[in-house]
Each structure stands twice: as structure tokens, then as C-alpha cells.
Amino acid sequence: MCTGKCSRFIGISLYPLVVFAIVCNVILFFPGWETGPIQNPESQMTPEVLYLGGVIGSGLLVLIPAIHIQATGREGCCNNRCGMFLSIIFAAIGVVGSLYGFVVSIVGMVKGPVCQYWPSLSVTQQPIWGRPFDSKLEDFSEDNYLFNKALWNTCINPVGVVEFNVILFSMVLTASGISLILCTIQVINGLFGCLCGTCRKNDLQ
């Protein structure tokens, strides 16, 4: 496959991933399909949702490169060595954006959602809002809430928020990971396009 066709394939492939990441991030603003937390984001919203890893990182910062990358695969002003050089820069921006979305999603999953829970076994205390599963990457074990679904009932409000967050952050993580791979491939493809051309008969210098 020539560099131009490869760019077009990568550009087109990035579009659904961008939409997927943005939609998942937007849905995360309504944990457990409730609107209450978004009205009190400072105390009831999971911070990583507000970091907009799926909207900005794997969304806008990948969408803009995708438009140019696809253009390098079509006949026109971008389908030349100069266009390929610019695609390297745009693809690098996409790498940064998708990496941001990837990292934010991992942190959001590891630390767990903000929810209402009982701080202790004492029934005299009132439930509080916080992160009952707040952990670190090195704490991954069988006792981690991600591997022990019995702990998910710790959150009493919003209902089902743990599963909600795990699924949606996993989706953003997947979309970000694939976008990261595609943008990295385009950096390499763009380099070959600069050196060898785009397979056009009259490749512009």
C-alpha cells in the first residue's frame, strides 16, 4: 500500500474513534444516568470526567489531524511531500491527544468513581460523597475493586455508578489506544511519504 492510500485509510479510521470517545466522555457526565452530579461537579463528579480526556484528548486533538491525514490520501494540494511532512506534525498532535485520553481513562478507572457511600459500618453516620475505591496503579491485586465486583455495592448513589464508569472509561481507553496506534503509524508513514513520495506519477516536491 502506498503512503497516500495508507494516509487516507488512517484518516477515515480515526473519525469513528473520535466520535466514539467524545460520546462516551459526554455520557460520563451523567453517572448512573442521573443528572444530579453534574449540578454539583465539585463534590459529586468524578474529576477525570471533567478532564475531558475523550472530548479534548481523543476527540478534538485527534479530529483535526484526521482531517489533514485523510487529505494527504486524496488528489489535491495535500497529496505531496509537503503534505506528508505536515501530516507528521498533525499525527504527532494526535499522538499527544490520544495519549492524554488514554492516561486520563486509566487514572479514572484506577481511582474509581465519586459516589455516595457509608464511611463506616456505623448506621448512625450519614452517607458521604467521595471515592471509596481510591487506589494507585501499584495497588492492582485481587483486592482491587476492579477485580472484585462484590465491592461495587459500596456505592449507594448513583445506582450502578461503578459499572457505569468502568465500562465507559474502558471504551474511551480503547478508542484512545487505537487512535494512538494509528497516529503513530501515520508519523512513520508520513516520514516515508516525505522521503519516497505519495505514489503519484508527478509527486510534487
What are the tens digits of pLDDT across the range 30-80? 999 999 899 998 889 999 999 999 999 999 999 999 998 888 876 666 667
Distance CA 54, CA 45 (A): 16
Instruction: Please tell me which residue, 57 or 81, carries the higher pLDDT value.
Output: 57
Give residue-wise pLDDT tens across range 103-114: 999 999 999 999
Residue 93 has a pLDDT of 96
Instruction: Please tell me which residue, 57 or 134, carries the higher pLDDT value.
Output: 57
Residue 76 has a pLDDT of 60
Instruction: Please tell me which residue, 174 or 201, carries the higher pLDDT value.
Output: 174
Q: Give, as one character, the DSSP assignment of residue 55.
A: I
Global confidence as pTM: 0.88
Give residue-wise pLDDT tens across range 145-192: 888 888 899 999 999 999 999 999 999 999 999 999 999 999 999 888
CB contact set of 149 (below 8 Å; sequence gap of 6+): none
Distance CA 176, CA 100 (A): 8
Distance CA 9, CA 28 (A): 30
Question: In the Cβ-directed half-sphere of 76, how many Cα atoms lie within 13 Å?
Answer: 9
pLDDT band at 203 (very low <50, low <70, confident <90, very high): very low
Instruction: Please tell me which residue, 64 or 1, carries the higher pLDDT value.
Output: 64
Residue 205 has a pLDDT of 40
Residue 49 has a pLDDT of 96
